[in-house]
Amino acid sequence: MVLPKIEAEAISQNYGHFVISPLESGYGITLGNALRRVLLSSLPGAAVTSIRLSGIHHEFSAIPHVREDTTQLILNVKQLRLKSHSEDPVRLHVEITNEGPVTAGDLIAPPEVEVVNPDQYLLTADSNDVDLDFELVVSTGRGYSPAEERTRLPLGEIPVDAIYSPVKKAAYRVERTRIGQQTDYDKLNLEIWTDGTISPEESLRRAASILVQHLSLLAGAETVEVEPAEEEEEGIPARVYDAPIEELELTVRAYNCLKRAGITKVGEILRRMEKGEDEMLAIRNFGKKSLDELVDKLRDKNYLDVPGVDLSAFWESTTLSNGADVDDEEADELVDEADEA
């Protein structure tokens, strides 16, 4: 069997034309079709999965002092091209307080996220009276994920259709080629268009690697032993973890501090509290008074005693009462002692 060679006929950041030849008769269609399908459906990527706009609760709302409505903004957001090196969802945000256009380059992103097209237009504020806090949630995945898959988002978080695939288009054609007197060999022409978050060469390499991994299993080249799943640690009940912080009815100051820190769910607060008081006070402008208020609100909702939460480190590190150390009789005695003093 004659082994093929791969040549790059044309290459750029977003486009690549590769020629693979010579191939045995029929192998051109076999390889071309397999590579094209994997390129379009199986390469991982990053996309915006939901957005949050202060004061906006659904996608058909007008945005005060902004030229675009929410639907138009979502269409612009879908054009964002992102790289994410985090397996967990990551939040980007921008506070809009001045008149003028806002582009992707204005978004404040954590180090693990890169905006590939910073010139992408998002919206235009048409008044200096605008006061809009705009957040985007970026997740990683494969293929396409419709917004309908994310119906249990916190109040005010609007789901967005996510196209994770970094390959926008892939096409192939097969031509006849010859070696010596034999003319029945195939020449595979493969064209790849990407969104700029991955090079055409890298996308081809990854697609081929995915195919090799699957085919090697069929060939018996690798035996995969499935390890028994470890017993999953008891977690916070979904009804508690996913509860939006709006349910706590916090003061504006405490609410805004949590929101700007990217905390939108009660479960995220509880996980931070498990690490101790300092973890909460590290939130910008979130002081002892705000923490005291937050603990009271969580206690009122019975969120401090839910399964899957261990707040022992928090109570050891704080001067706040956990509400469980003093019963009613002891409390009366303390009051009497205070009166006598």
Residues 53 and 150 in one domain: yes
d(CA 238, CA 244): 11
Owning domain of residue 242: 238-330
Amino acid (one-letter) located at 225 = E
Cα dist. 48→105, 196, 268, 271 in Å? 15, 16, 20, 24
Q: What is the pLDDT of residues 218-243, one digit of tens each?
A: 887 555 555 554 433 457 888 888 88
CATH of the domain at 58: 2.170.120.12
- For 17, 48, 152, 154, the CA distances from 149, given in Å and listed in that order, are 36, 14, 9, 14
User: What CATH number should be reported for the domain holding residue 321?
Assistant: 1.10.150.20
Q: Is residue 338 part of a domain?
A: no
Evaluate if residue 116 carries a pLDDT over 70: yes
- When the pLDDT of each residue in the chain is averaged and rounded to a whole number, the result is 87
pLDDT at 323: 52
Domain-located, residue 341: no
Give the chain's largest Cα–Cα span. Answer: 113
Decide if 102 contacts 122 (C-beta within 8 A).
yes
Q: Which of 127, 142, 163 is the last residue of a domain?
A: 163
Q: Please say whether the beta carbons of 164 and 142 come within 8 A.
A: yes
Quick check: is 65 in a domain?
A: yes
CATH number at residue 202: 3.30.1360.10
Q: Is residue 335 part of a domain?
A: no
What's the chain's length in residues? 341
Neighbours of 210 (CB within 10 A): 16
328 has pLDDT over 80? no
Residues 259 and 191 placed together within one structural domain of the fold: no
Check residue 98 and give its pLDDT: 94
Cis check for the bond before 22: say yes or no (omega within 30 of 0): yes
Q: Is residue 258 part of a domain?
A: yes
- Over residues 27-40, mean pLDDT: 95
Q: Residues of the chain with pLDDT > 90: what percent?
A: 57
Residue 316 pLDDT grade (very low, low, confident, very high; cuts 50, 70, 90): confident
CA distance 191 to 8: 10
Backbone angles phi, psi at 87, to 5 degrees: -80, -20
pLDDT at 267 over 60: yes
Distances in whole angstroms, Cα of residue 192 to Cα of each of 32, 35, 298? 12, 10, 53
What percent of the chain lies above the pLDDT cut of 70?
89
Residue 110 domain flag: yes
Domain total of the chain: 3
Task: Give the Cα separation of 267 and 236 in Å (integer).
Answer: 7
Same domain for 174 and 28: yes
On whether the pTM is more than 0.75, the answer is: no
Rounded Cα–Cα distance for residues 36 and 191 (Å): 9
Per-residue pLDDT, averaged over 128-152, amounts to 92
Question: For residue 22, which phi and psi values (nearest 5 degrees)?
Answer: -85, 150
Strand blocks (E) in 76-181? 82-84, 90-96, 100-103, 113-115, 121-125, 132-142, 144-145, 157-159, 162-163, 167-179
Residue at which a domain ends, from 163, 192, 226: 163
Does 177 lie in the same domain as 130?
Answer: no
The single-letter DSSP state of residue 147 is G
Angle (CA) 225 212 45, round 5°: 95
60 occurs within a structural domain: yes
Q: Is residue 232 part of a domain?
A: no
Taking only Cα atoms into account, the Rg of the chain, rounded to an integer number of angstroms, comes to 28
